[in-house]
Structure formats: structure tokens, C-alpha cells
Amino acid sequence: MNSIFTRRSVRSFLPKEVEAEKIEKLLQAAMQAPSAMNQQPWEFIVVRGAENLEKLSHFHVYATSMVGADFAIIVLCNNERLKSPLAWQQDLGAATQNLLVEATELGLGTVWFGTAPHQPRMDYVREFCDLPEHMVPYSVIAGGYPKDPDANHFKNRFDPSRVRYITE
């Protein structure tokens, strides 16, 4: 079964460093996402080090599980790249999801912390990273090797009542 089906939100991690090649592979996967008018508005900041992660974790009331993660990746929109401005949240949603699925593929666990459009969270991340005005924090992902080796597993969410067919 492929990783789309086994990805879960993972919040407990081993104290084991994720290889730099794997981090880069996650970023590669994110950048393969489709985007409106192929605008590819994304930029990424990789945060590592226990002190940095502890400080960043305060951006979101439910992000305490970032303490103990091996890395965080902040997904940003570069407003100067926008050709189809209304689509930025969709583009970055696709990029973020690619990153999460690829992490599962590589044996990693991740959790997606919603950031935009909640202004206090965005402001905290902006200050943490010292971002210029045209860079907008969209999502923050924490990750690492999962403590539970079965953390990513299939849980069936299929609900046929959500589907309608138009065939005639």
C-alpha cells in the first residue's frame, strides 16, 4: 500500500537525526507539486536544533510536539512570484501534502501545523525567521523518525456517502 494511505499525523519522535539527503528529498517532493499558472510560489526554511525547535513551537498552542522533533520545515509563499494570487493556499496545500507523503515513504513521521491565515501564528513565525514583507508563512511541519514503528499505518477514511455520480 502506498504512503498516501498510510500517512498519519505523528507527534512522538526518536532522538535520531534525519539524514540531510532525506530532508532534501522532502523539499524536492514539495517542489514537484502543481501550481496555478505554474507559479511555484514556494520557499522553505528548515529549522533544526532543540533550542530553535522549542522556541518555534510557541507559535501555535498545539505545537508542543515540536519539542522532541528532529526538524521543522516552514512552507512560505513568496508574494513576488504570484501570477495567480488567489491560488496561493491551494498551491502550498499541494506542496505541503507532497512533503508529508514523501516523508512517510522515507520512514519518517510528520505533523502539519496550520499557520496561515491565522495572523498571530504568522506573526510569530515571521519574527522567528526575520522574514521580509513579501514572504508569508503558510504551514509548519514537524518531523523525525517516529517513536512508534507503526505510527504510520492505514486507517480507512473512505466514506462512499461523500460521492455522487453524474453519468446520464
In the complex, which residues of this chain contact a copy of itself (CB under 8 A)? Answer: 2-5, 7, 9, 24, 27-29, 31-34, 36, 40, 42-49, 52, 84, 86-87, 89-94, 96-98, 100-102, 105, 112, 114, 117-118, 129, 139, 157-159, 162-168
- Whether the CB-CB separation of 45 and 129 falls below 8 Å is answered with yes
- Whether the CB-CB separation of 140 and 75 falls below 8 Å is answered with yes
To the nearest whole angstrom, how small is the minimum distance from the Cβ of residue 149 to a copy of itself? 20
To the nearest whole angstrom, how small is the minimum distance from the Cβ of residue 126 to a copy of itself? 13
Q: Of 22 and 105, which has the nearer Cβ to a copy of itself?
A: 105
To the nearest whole angstrom, how small is the minimum distance from the Cβ of residue 145 to a copy of itself? 18
Q: Of 57 and 96, which has the nearer Cβ to a copy of itself?
A: 96
Q: In this structure, what C-alpha cell is assigned to residue 90?
A: 491551494
Read off the DSSP letter of residue 133: T
Question: Does residue 105 sit in helix, strand or coil?
Answer: helix
Q: Which of 43, 46, 41 is nearest to 21 (CA)?
A: 46
